[in-house]
Amino acid sequence: MTELLRLSKRMSELGLCSRREADEWIERGWVRVDGKVVSELGSKVLPGQIVTVERQAAAEQSKRVTVLINKPMGYVSGQAEDGYTPAIALIKAETRWADDPSPEQFHPTQLRSLVPAGRLDIDSVGLLILTQDGRVAKTLIGETTTVEKEYLVRVQYSKVGKLPESDLKKLCHGLWMDGKPLLPAKVRWQNEDQLSFTLREGKKRQIRRMCDMVGLKVIGLKRVRIGKVKLGDLPVGQWRYLRPDEQF
């Protein structure tokens, strides 16, 4: 017996949109199952049934923007907390990068439902993605994401001498966190006090905690790449639009 799936979940699995978008589209009558409009929230479908969306949905989705910020220290990724300012406050006409090649025009309505796709700690800097597009969010923070994130990490060794090669190998694979083994990472020296970390997961304060386990203190942490999208020359505190030719 084939199991019925919630329509919004199936639409997300098919990569059509996020679950939240799916619910909106279902309510608006923009979703068809085997050619018939389904407008009742919570409706279920079989995996073999054909799900399509009306052109209005695709048109609305194409208007949704994705933004790259070079987050400075002292800003939080998401909701304002403990008096700290959220990174979305940086997105305004005057802080847009002058060299942004996108023809997209900024309008304050783009700030509606613009949410961070992943987090960057308050004391970390670099590339932060905010998006209105559920597909982008799913790609970057969905349960099955395989998108790499690269960080440059300035460190100080708390013991005598240099970090042993065996501990560098542990950073690459072999450490446990929160009762589970971490996925393999790529960790290599950039220079005598800076490491490059490439991860495929993002547990809270993961890099700082990994470093702590081998006697390294993190002095500075900067995210420079998410998937194929690089921070590049984007100045600190400024933002630009994701270009149509860029994919994570």
Catalytic residue numbers read 121
* Cα–Cα separations (whole angstroms), residue 171 to 58, 163, 227, 239, 240: 43, 11, 20, 32, 33
What does the alpha-carbon distance between residue 81 and residue 23 come to, in Å, rounded to a whole number?
Answer: 29
Q: State which amino acid sits at residue 137.
A: A
Please give the DSSP secondary-structure letter assigned to residue 96. B
Give the C-alpha distances (Å, rounded to integers) separating 37 from 16, 18, 162, 207, 248: 16, 19, 65, 47, 33
**Residue 32 and residue 53 in contact, taking contact as beta carbons nearer than 8 Å:** yes
Residue 163: helix, strand or coil by DSSP? coil
Token pair belonging to 17: 């949109």
The DSSP 8-state label assigned to residue 3 in this structure reads P
SS3 assignment, position 110: helix
Which residue, among 67, 64, 202, has the nearest Cα to 145 in the 3D structure?
Answer: 202
**Cβ contact 11:48 at 8 Å:** no
Lookup result for tokens 């009762």: 179
